[in-house]
A and B are shown apart, each in its own frame.
Chain A
Amino acid sequence: MTTEENDMQTQPAGKAKGGASPFIRLDEGKLQPKRKVDMNSIAVVKSENFNFYYGSKVGVKNITMDIYPCSVTAIIGPSGCGKSTFIRSINRINDLIPHGRAEGKLFVNGHNVYEKNTNLIRLRQQTGMVFQRPNPFPKSIFDNVAYGPRLQGIRDNSELQRIVEESLRAAALWDEVRDDLKNSAFALSGGQQQRLCIARALATRPNILLMDEPCSALDPTATGKIEDLIDQLQKDYTIVIVTHNMQQAARVSQRTAFFCLGELVEYDLTSKIFSNPAKKRTEDYVTGRFG
C-alpha cells in the first residue's frame, strides 16, 4: 500500500506484531482510542462540496458539513434523500456500486479519502460500520468479532481473546454470550446480532462508528438497548447514525443533519433542529407535515 505514512490520526493496530495491545485500558471493559481527541479540535469527518452520482443520477450533491469528535451526529430525511449514500461514502463502501462516481472532497481524520493514494484498508479500520440489517458472518461469535483483528495480523490466541472480550463488553453483549463464544452467530436474536456487529466493528479499533439505520430491523426492546449502547459509546467514539426515526435522532444525537433530495438542508444542534429549525422544509419534516 502506498500510504504508509499518511496523516491519518490513528495508527492501525496489529502492525506491530506481538507488541503492546492496540487498546489502552482506561478502566474495566472500556475501549479508548490511543490518542484522546480534544472535543474542540477539528472535525473528524469533513466534507466539502461532496457529490456522489449513480451513473447519471445524483445521489448526494454539494454536501458541506463537519462531523465533530466524540459525539453523535444523526442524519435524518425522507427515503431516497441520500442519507445512506453519504454515510456509505465516508468509508468508501459505495465503491462497490458499479458506475458510482464521487466528486468533491471528503476528509476523514484529516485525509481526503477520495484521493488516489488512499489506503482503503486503513480507512475502513478507522471507520467501523454497522448496517441496516444485522449481518454477522456465518461463523462463530468469537470468529465474527476476531475477524477484524485477524485481518490486521493478530494471530496470538490470548490476545484475540482479550480483544474479543473487550469488544463484546463495549457492545454490552459479553454477559449474554460469554459461555457461547463457540456457537454460531446465527443462534443469537436480531438485537444481539446487531450488537455483535457493533462489537465486530469496535474490534478493529476505529475512532468513527458509522451506523446506517442500525435499528430499522429490530423490535423496540432491542432498539432501546442499542440506543443505550450508542449513549455509552459516544464518550469514546465519533458516531454518525442514519435514522428514519426522528424520536431516535432526538434521543441519541447531539447534532442533526436534515437531508432532502440529495442536498443538505440544515445541520445544527439537535435541540435546535427539533425545536426551532431555521428552514421551513426542516420544520415541515420534523413536525410530520411531509416526508
Chain B
Amino acid sequence: MDKFFTGLSGFSIVLLTAALLIVLVPMLLKGGSAVFFKGTVEFRKMQADIFNRGDDAALKNEKERTRRAREFIYDSIETFKNGIDPAALSEKVRQINRQFGEQLKDKGIEGEDYQSLRSIARELRDKLIEAFESNDRNLINENIKFVFSYKQDNRLANSGMKEMFAIAEKFSRAIENVDFQKRDRYAQSLGEIEEIVTQLLGPKPGEPVPVLAMARYGATRWEQAEKLKEQLLYPVRWVGGKPGEPLVAEKYSRQEEFKGTAIEPLFGYVDKELSNMLEPRRTFYWQFFIDDSINSHYFGGVGPEILGTLLLTIVAMIFVIPLGVISAAYLVECSTENLAVKIIRMCINTLAGVPSIVFGLFGLAFFVLYLLPLFGAPSKGNILAASLTLAVLTLPLMIRASEEALRAVPHTYKEASLALGAGHFRTFIKVTLPAAMPGILTGIILSLGRVAGETAPILFTGTAAVASIPKSLFDATRTLSYGSYDMAVGDRIAAMVPHQQYGMVVTLILLVLILNTAAILLRWKISKKLRGH
C-alpha cells in the first residue's frame, strides 16, 4: 500500500510537471521571441525613425546595400506590369495625351497645326488603348506598328509624346511571351505579388510615405519575412472536390504560373536573395519592456502596460493590506464568537468565491458611477476605481490569510506581553503583528498575484486598450492582463504580431514572479529573524 501511494504521488508530480511544461514552454518561447528575435533592416529603420536608436552610419550603408539588392524586384515587376495591366497603361497613355495638349498650348502652337497634332495624338492614344485591351495578337501588332510609324515625326518625338512611344515599346516587348488567355489571372496574381512585396520590403522607393507607421516598413522580423516569402512563392488556392465535399487547400508554385513571362526570375531571386534584401540579424530588444507601443502593438513594447499593472497593483495593495489586517485583527482579537461574527465570516468566505466579473460590475456601479463622482471625479474608468475594485476582490483572501496568521501566533506571546503591563492594542502592535508577519506576507503574495493578473474587475473600471500614460489616479490605464485579453479578441493586428501578445503574457508572469520573489525574500528574512538565527 505504501509503495502504491509513493508511486501515485510520484506519478502525479510527473503529470503536473509535464502539464506545466506543455503549457509554459511554448508560451515562454513565443513570448521570448518578443525580445530575442532576428530583426531585419526594416526593424532597424523603424527603431531609428520612431525611437531614435541605432547606428546611423551603419544603417545608411545597410539601406544602400538592401536598396541595390531590391532593385531587381521592382524592375521585373515594372516590366511585367507593362504587358499585363491594360487599365494602368491606358490611364498613363491618356495622361500623356492630356499633357501633350497643354505642352502645345505652352509652346504657342495654334490653329491648324494644333488641331492636326491633337488629332494624331488622340488617334495614337486610341490605337494603343485598343492594343492594351485586346487579346488578339495580330491586332496588337498592327496597332503598335501604326504607332511606331509616327516615331520619326519630329513634332511628336521631341515632346511629351515620346513617353508614349516608350510605353508602346515596353508593351510590345512584354507581351511577347504573355499568354493572353491568362491575362486576367495574371492581373489578379500580380496584385497579390505587389501587396506581398510591399509587406515584405515596405513601400516602393519614391512613393509617398504612408501615414500609418505600420505601413511605412516592411517585415521587421525574419520569421515574418519567411512567412511572406512562403506566401509569395507558394500561395494557397482552394480546390473543389466532389459536390457536397468541402474545398481543399492546395499549394501551388507561382513560378510555374508565371513561367515564360518577364516576372518569372523574380521568384528565384526572392528565394535566394531575401536575406540580402533584409539583412536579418540577431536582436535583443530589451526596450520591449519600456517602449510605448505603435499602431496597437504592431511595433514597440509594453512599457505603459507594465507601468499600469504596477500602479493598479500597488494602489490596490495600499488599500487591501491595512483593511485586511485590521479586519482580521477584529475577528481574532476583539470579537467573541457570536452570531454577528459568524455571519461576517460566512460573508467573507462567500465573497472569496464570487466570480470576478461580478466585482467588475460592482466596481462600475459603485466606485465609477456613484462613489468617486461624489468627490468630484468624472464618472469614467480610472486607476483609483479599478484599484478599489481589485482591493474589494482580494480582501476576503487577505482577511483569511491574515486571520490564520494571527491565530497561529502562540498564545504565550500575548500572555507574556499582557503580564508585563501592555494593553491589548500595544500587545497586538508590538508582539502579535510582528510574529504573524510571515503569514500575513503569504496573504500579500497570494493577493499580489491575483490583483496583477485579474482582467474582469478592471474591464469596466479603469482600463482601456488605447490610453496614454496615466498622469494621475483619475486616468484610465493600459494593463498587461487587459492588453492580452484585448489582443486575443478580434484584433486583426494581433494575428500579425503574436509575439506581442505572448510577450505581454510572459511579461505579466515575470512581473508577478518578481513581485512574489521580493515578498518571499522578505518573508524569509522576517521568519529567519523570528526563529532567531
Contact = CB atoms under 8 A, between A and B. Distances in A.
B420 A96 contact: no
Contact of B431 (A96, A124, A137): A137
B162 to A, nearest CB: 98
Contacts of B105: none
Interface string A65-103: 000000000000000000000000001010010100000
A98 B423 CA distance: 17
A151 B417 CA distance: 10
Interface stretch (B33-41, B373-381, B487-495, B524-532): B524-532
B419 A137 contact: no
Contacts of A197: 416
Interface in B36-87: none
Interface stretch (B164-172, B200-208, B407-415): B407-415
Given A137-B431, A138-B435, A93 B419 contact: yes
Interface in A231-267: none
Contacts of B430: 147
Interface string B389-423: 00000000000000000000010111111111111
A91 B532 contact: no
A137 B531 CA distance: 10
Given A93-B418, A128-B419, A152-B421, A135 B410 contact: yes
Contact of A138 (B422, B423, B532): B532
Contact of B416 (A12, A131, A152, A187): A131
B420 A138 contact: no
A183 B531 CA distance: 11
A175 B220 CA distance: 74
Contacts of B434: 138-139
Contacts of A148: 420-421
A168 interface: no
Interface in B506-533: 529-533
A103 B414 CA distance: 25
A163 B504 CA distance: 59
Nearest to A91: B419
A278 B434 CA distance: 52
A192 interface: no
A147 B417 contact: yes
Interface in A184-210: 184-187, 197, 200-201, 204
Contact of B420 (A122, A133, A151, A183): A151
Contacts of A139: 434
Interface string A126-166: 01110101011111000000011001100000000000000
A148 B417 CA distance: 8
B336 A98 contact: yes
A285 to B, nearest CB: 28
A16 interface: no
A109 interface: no
Contacts of B336: 98
A125 interface: yes
A121 interface: yes
Contacts of B423: 121
B419 A201 contact: yes
Interface of B (DSSP majority class): helix
Given A135-B410, A138-B434, A151-B426, A187 B532 contact: yes
A136 B431 CA distance: 11
A12 B417 CA distance: 17
Interface string B265-284: 00000000000000000000
A260 to B, nearest CB: 26
A98 B411 CA distance: 14
B532 A133 contact: no
A238 B416 CA distance: 19
A124 B415 contact: no
A148 B419 CA distance: 9
Most chain B CB neighbours (cut-off 10 Å) among A128, A152, A184: A184
Contact of A124 (B419, B530, B531, B532): B419
Contacts of A96: 414-415, 418
B421 A124 contact: yes
A200 B418 CA distance: 12
A133 B412 contact: yes
B420 A124 contact: yes
B420 A131 contact: no
A204 B415 contact: no
A151 B422 contact: yes
A151 B530 contact: no
B532 A186 contact: yes
Given A151-B426, A183-B532, A184-B532, A93 B415 contact: yes
A120 B48 CA distance: 74
Nearest to A147: B420
A276 to B, nearest CB: 36
Nearest to B426: A151
B418 A135 contact: no
Interface string B429-449: 011001100000000000000
A91 B418 CA distance: 10
A128 B431 CA distance: 18
Contacts of A122: 421
Given A98-B336, A204-B421, A131 B415 contact: yes
A102 B423 CA distance: 21
Contacts of B422: 121, 147, 151
Nearest to A125: B421
B412 A138 contact: no
A23 B224 CA distance: 83
B421 A121 contact: yes
Nearest to B416: A135
Nearest to B415: A93
Contacts of A138: 413, 434-435, 529-532
Nearest to B409: A138
B423 to A, nearest CB: 6
A148 B423 CA distance: 11
20 contacts: A124-B418, A124-B421, A128-B419, A128-B420, A129-B415, A131-B412, A131-B419, A137-B416, A138-B413, A138-B531, A152-B421, A183-B532, A184-B529, A184-B531, A186-B531, A197-B416, A200-B416, A200-B420, A201-B419, A204-B421
Interface of A: 12, 91, 93, 96, 98, 121-122, 124-125, 127-129, 131, 133, 135-139, 147-148, 151-152, 183-187, 197, 200-201, 204
Given A135-B415, A147-B422, A184-B529, 14 more contacts: A12-B421, A124-B419, A127-B419, A131-B415, A131-B419, A138-B434, A138-B529, A138-B531, A138-B532, A147-B417, A151-B420, A185-B532, A197-B416, A201-B419
Interface of B: 336-337, 410, 412-423, 426, 430-431, 434-435, 529-533
Enumerate the 8 nearest inter-chain pairs by beta-carbon distance, A residue then B residue, closest first. A184-B532, A186-B532, A135-B412, A129-B419, A138-B530, A125-B421, A124-B421, A148-B420
